[in-house]
Each structure stands twice: as structure tokens, then as C-alpha cells.
Amino acid sequence: MLAKRIIPCLDVLDGKVVKGVNFVNLTEIGDPVEHGAWYSEQGADELVYLDITATHEKRKLLADLVRRIAVNINIPFTVGGGVNQIQDADALLSAGADKISVNSAVLMNPSLIDQIAKSFGSQFLVVAIDAKNVDGRWVVYRNGGRVATDRELFEWASEVWMRGAGEILFTSMDHDGVKTGYACKELAMLSDTLSIPVIASGGAGAPEHFLDAFKYGKADAALAASVFHYNEISIPDLKKYLHENNVTVRL
């Protein structure tokens, strides 16, 4: 049986792992490779590195960092942030990234999905979607949730899939940071509609939330940042809990 995946997400700024709330009050907490290695030892199934570096010059550091991660980490990892054109994707692939995650760039230029999927394969491409329920309509946002688009979640997700994305990473902005659980109803709708894996993101605060995301949300993987960074939930304990509740996980 294919196992449900647990994915810690690490925010990277200027080559360092940082944490903070909504990109404010960022505190440097260490080396991305060491953090990744630690998560891997803990039983993380995959890692997501999200580069939040603002300037283009500093972004060039990213390829070096990705190479260092690839050399040292023995599980798959995704790199998000800063992919605006196919050359950016190529550079990350060459540096050793297993997958890249794109968000705003494909909202501005959807055909970038087709290009990346055709050039490097769908398995290389995760499309991240941030959405928020606005009067009953799930509006897709870009630029880290700062700019509303005219896209609707389910339509956009279907288009992204049809264009060749390999996975969807769905973050409910209503649930993100609140720690009251993932958006299970929307996750289940996505999972039932799309024939590619769906990664749940936003809202994890307790082990039960992961269980719900898999059981009711039908998610293929669940991503979280702060509960893992602050050690509120340990990955070994979480996996044991999921296993006891009949979720297939890699122990």
C-alpha cells in the first residue's frame, strides 16, 4: 500500500532556515541541510524548502544550497520560490532538486506549467495553490496570499492538472496559522476530482488534524511547518498515532 506522506516545510531566507508568523518577525534558526537531515532521521517522507529570499541576486545562492541539500539528504525534496521561467526550473533540476513548486508565476503565465511538464516530466512539478473562502467562493491568491486573482480554486486546480502538474499543494488561507485543522472538505473535493496527488497544507495543530486530512480530506500527503519546527508534534509520535488509526504510513 502506498503510504501517506508527512512533509515538513522549511522557509529559507538568504540561505538560512527561518521561522516567523506570516513572514513577519523572522528568526534565523539554522542551516537548511542540517534541519533537513534531522527531519529525515525523524522519519519525514519528503521535505519542502520554500525560498522566501526577496532579491534576485541572493536567489543565485539557491542553486548552491539545493546542490548541498541534494548531496546530503537521502529522501526526496521539493524547492519552491523564485521559479518564474523554465530556465529557473532547469537550474534547480541541474542542482539536484527532485521537484519544484510553483505558484504565482503560473497564475501569471499558466503555459509555464505545460512547458515545465513537457521538458522535465510531470513528476518534477508541484503547483501550489493558496485560496481563501470569500463569500462562499474559493478565491485563488498569488504573491504569498497578498494579491487576489480572478481564479476559483476548483477550476484552477483542474486546469493545472490538465496542463500537466504532477501534484497539487493546496493551502487554505482561512486555516493557515490557526492550528484548527486542514480544510478537509475542500481537500476531499480536490482529491476526488483530480487524478494526481493532493498535498494538504495550512492548519495543522494536532495529530488529529493529520488523521482528518487523510481520512476525510483524502489527502495523499500533509505538509506542516510550525508544529514540527517548534517540536509541538514529533514526527515519530505522529506516525505512530496515524498507524494506530489505520492510516498507512512509513514507520
User: C-alpha cell of 150?
Assistant: 480572478
Residues of this chain that interact with another protein (CB under 8 A) are 1-3, 5, 33-34, 37-38, 40, 45, 70-72, 74-76, 93-94, 96, 98, 120-124, 166-167, 194-197, 220-221, 250-251
Nearer to another protein, 60 or 250 (CB): 250
Q: Is 237 among the residues known to form the active site?
A: no
Pairing outcome for strands 16-21 and 5-13: antiparallel
- The answer to whether residues 62 and 51 touch, using CB atoms and an 8 Å cutoff, is yes
Is 162 or 251 the residue whose CB approaches another protein more closely? Answer: 251
| Active-site position among 45, 51, 88, 130 | 130
Of 46 and 176, which CB lies nearer to another protein in the complex structure?
Answer: 46
Least separation, in Å, of the C-beta of 23 and another protein?
A: 27
Q: Are 122 and 172 in contact (CB under 8 A)?
A: no
Please state the closest distance from residue 96 (CB atom) to another protein, in A: 5
| 136 φψ region: left (φ > 0), alpha (ψ -120 to 50), beta (else) | left
91 vs 139, beta carbon nearer another protein: 91
130 catalytic residue (yes or no): yes
H-run or E-run covering 132: strand 125-134
Q: How far is the CB of 162 from another protein (least distance, A)?
A: 14
Contact 36, 65 (CB under 8 A): no
Distance (Å) of CA 177 to CA 20, 35, 45, 54, 227: 11, 21, 22, 22, 10
CB of 77 vs another protein, minimal distance in Å:
9
Active site residues: 11, 130
